[in-house]
Amino acid sequence: MLQKSCILVISVLSCFWPLGTAMLNLTLPGTHPDPEAVAHEVHRKVNASIGRREMLAALERDESSCLTGNPIDDCWKCDPDWPNNRQRLADCAIGFGQYAKGGKGGEFYLVTDSSDDDVVNPKPGTLRYAVIQNEPLWIVFPSNMMIRLSQELIFNSYKTLDGRGADVHIVGGGCITLQYISNVIIHNIHIHHCHPSGNTNIRSSPEHYGYRTESDGDGISIFGSKDLWIDHCTLSRCKDGLIDAVMGSTGITISNNFFSHHNEVMLLGHSDDYLPDSGMQVTIAFNHFGQKLVQRMPRCRRGYIHVVNNDFTQWEMYAIGGSGEPTINSQGNRYTAPTNPFAKEVTKRVDTEQSRWKAWNWRSEGDVLVNGAFFIASGEGLEVKYEKAYSVEPKSADRIALLTMSAGVLGVARDNNLGMWSRGPGDDVSESGPDYTDDMSFAPKMKGSSFYFQLLFCFFSCTTIPLTAIL
């Protein structure tokens, strides 16, 4: 253990010495003291949203057409002027990541340049230039864009990626790294075909750049960070995990995403004996785990993981796995098992004898198990442990189709009001195609932003846009 701690300290000091205050996040004191209460609140909000929808539908009111019963979407999409009230999104998160404010209150920043040619001195107008800034920023995309990263994209705190109204794809080296930071929202972005990169200098703030060793090739890598929300993204075909959260990360909500075409989907926790991960708290809600997924939806080490109202339509090995005594609270999900008779079990205790895992708190409540799927629960005193979470009954999984019908990036093959940023002409950025190969991340870049959209955004926005964003 001492050796591992020394390696961690040395690597952190060598790469991010100027971020001394941020490194104090390693133990992340933001862990919620009552995780069952947070789970209870998620169900209360779902029930309230579905109740409003049913009431308005019964009254045949026009307002019901925007309501889905999904509390996140109903929070902002029912505002007909949402394109001009974009930062309202920051108030719509649920679960453990509900305190992620992203760039709320900050200026809007337009990504006008899809290139990523200089990772030490990024150009104004690029995405990399925006995410390393110290101040809060609400980052938007005035046109369809393929951003081909040359190295991992290292974020600073208080940033929102808001891809609503455009097809925004992030591919290539890295891809997204959230390390020793807080308050980040990533919304409505395609993330795919990410591969390892590194062994070079990369800038992480206006004041600092440092040498980075080779990355794993995750879609989103979360390391010692908190208050994060990943919503309505479409993730597939990366070299390692689609979303990995390790080293004491906590306060995370992963919602309304569409996952497909991947082996090890999601890892939560660094190792079985890494104690800070005991405070990890993650909400996984309203996601669609789709075709050609193999395992880790998620794979958990330690922590408290609330898996609620998701649709699991395919896995090849298992859906939810874990080791190191994590708490798994599975409520109101639909698990559809594969045809393979040896892969019907939803759960997998990884490399652990039954004599040890039988005391772990793994609970299934209100889940629908389809095509022979079965969930092996465990733990003593479960009724007491989850009493608060169950005081509001999870919505039946027959509502899953309603709650997850818009999972993934909005506006693609769906009836979505894109407001003033309606889909315009642009290169095809479809995700269809074969499974991951290293050379797929080097597809041709899309054309730059439309000047028309820039002017239109400036006209409607009531918040000042940095001049550097449009130079």
Q: Which residues are catalytic?
A: 296
Rounded Cα–Cα distance for residues 427 and 415 (Å): 21
Task: Quote the CA–CA distance of 316 and 213 in Å, as a whole number.
Answer: 32
Q: CA 230 → CA 100, 186, 251, 293, 313, distances in Å?
A: 10, 5, 11, 19, 21
Exposure of 150 in the CB half-sphere (CA atoms within 13 A): 15
Q: Which residue has the tokens 């990533």?
A: 186
Q: CA-based angle 330:234:187, to the nearest 5?
A: 90
Length of the chain measured in residues: 471
Tell whether omega for the bond before 175 is within 30 degrees of 0, i.e. cis: yes
In angstroms and rounded to an integer, the radius of gyration of the C-alpha atoms of the chain is 21
Q: Any bridge partners for residue 255, and if so which?
A: 231, 285
Residue type for position 206: P
Tell how strand 153-154 and strand 159-162 pair up. Answer: unpaired
Contact 358, 378 (CB under 8 A): yes
Contact by Cβ (8 Å): 176, 147 = no
The answer to whether the beta carbons of residues 185 and 163 sit under 8 Å apart is: no
- DSSP class of residue 96 equals G
Torsion angle of the four alpha carbons 270, 273, 278, 279, in this order, in degrees rounded to the nearest 10 = -50
